[in-house]
Amino acid sequence: MLTLQNTLYVMTPQAYVHIDNATLRVDVDHEKKLQVPLHHIGGLVCFGNVMVSPALMHRLAEDGKSLVLLDDSGRFKARLEGPVSGNILLRQAQYRAAERANTTLELARACVAGKIKNSRSVVQRGARDNTEADADASVQLTRSADNLAASLRAAAEAQTLDVLRGVEGEAARGYFAAINRIVKPAMRTDFQLDGRTRRPPLDRFNALLSFLYAMLMNDCRSALETVGLDPQLGFLHSVRPGRAALALDLQEEFRAVLADRLALTLINRNQIAANDFDQHEGGAVLLSDKGRRKVVAAWQERKQEEITHPLLEQKMPIGLLPFVQARLLARTIRGEMQGYLPYLAR
């Protein structure tokens, strides 16, 4: 039985996080701001200049709970974890699978199929919602959904990783061009997505997406480590030192339906505004401290919402999806499933 434990996000500059008996305590300027039992915490994520006591680091490692350090914009810096868990036989099977070109291609194709199908779902939903408010946007979104369907067919026919990655890249460009039209007309001036920009993001929409992707990435990596897979060895994403390639693979099927859809909701409902972002030298745009707090709160609320998993036909919190899919991926690698089935939103 999987349980959903909360990840604690600490964003206040100069905050000091330490252990106090069997509780985790957060102090700011020597004043207690938060105290919570350790068994209620699944992991600790610190943004920017946050101090963590060595005693707490040791306790988190002993309890198998992760400590993740991100910079102010949400970019990954470091991760502390205890002894590697999981069956070594599973990792051996993962390494052997990565050496087989046909297995690598099939798993990579599943990642891309999940990403494109879920991206298309977001675009189709946007087309339906815009039918009356912006008929022209609805027509354009429908055309984009058709293009994504063509990309899906092309991905199924790709015979090499390079061709598959090319199909995925082209689909992503079309998708990001389309989601501008899902933003309500009144919000488009402040939240215009001028292509996908990352390091650094150059507009508010990109800044919001990058921040959400950073949190999603952390959840995907934690899920893989929980089931015992090596997050460094991926199938779609190439292996590089220090790169969690398998976590990036797993993340693909969730980007549109978890992160992008939440970003669009926050914008269209005016839950996040232009003044929740800061402009930096060189054109970088990042969430302000106030903006980060809003997004983290919305992310945690979103993860508590329940859905019915289409394959397992069981209700579960959205936050458990990466863990469930990591288990399905492990079963596929062990040969217990015919092929990996990504999560597809209904």
Please give the residue that has the higher pLDDT: either 249 or 1: 249
Please identify, in words, the CATH class of the domain defined by 88-333: mainly alpha
Q: Given 3-state DSSP classes, what are the helix, strand and coil percentages for the chain, each rounded to the nearest 5?
A: 55, 15, 30
Q: How many CB atoms lie within 10 A of CB 339?
A: 10
pLDDT digits (tens, 9 = 90+) for 101-137: 999 999 999 999 999 999 999 998 888 876 555 677 7
Fold agreement (6-80, 88-333): no
C-alpha distances out from residue 131 to 64, 140, 188, 260, Å: 49, 11, 17, 20
What is the topology classification, in CATH, of domain 6-80? Ribosomal Protein L15; Chain: K; domain 2 (3.100.10)
For 37, the enclosing helix (H) or strand (E) is strand 31-37
Q: What are the boundaries of each domain within the chain?
A: 6-80, 88-333
C-alpha distances out from residue 268 to 202, 242, 264, 273, Å: 20, 37, 6, 10
d(CA 152, CA 160): 15
Buried-state track 62-80, b at ≥16 Cβ within 10 A, e below 16: eeebbbbbbebbbeeeebe
Q: How many CB atoms lie within 10 A of CB 314?
A: 10
Contact 279, 285 (CB under 8 A): yes
State the pLDDT at residue 177: 87
State the pLDDT at residue 132: 56
C-alpha distances out from residue 231 to 91, 136, 157, 226, 244, Å: 10, 43, 27, 10, 5
Beta strand 41-47 pairing with 6-10:
parallel
State the pLDDT at residue 212: 94
Q: Which of 38-42, 99-103, 240-244, 281-285 has the lowest mean pLDDT?
A: 281-285
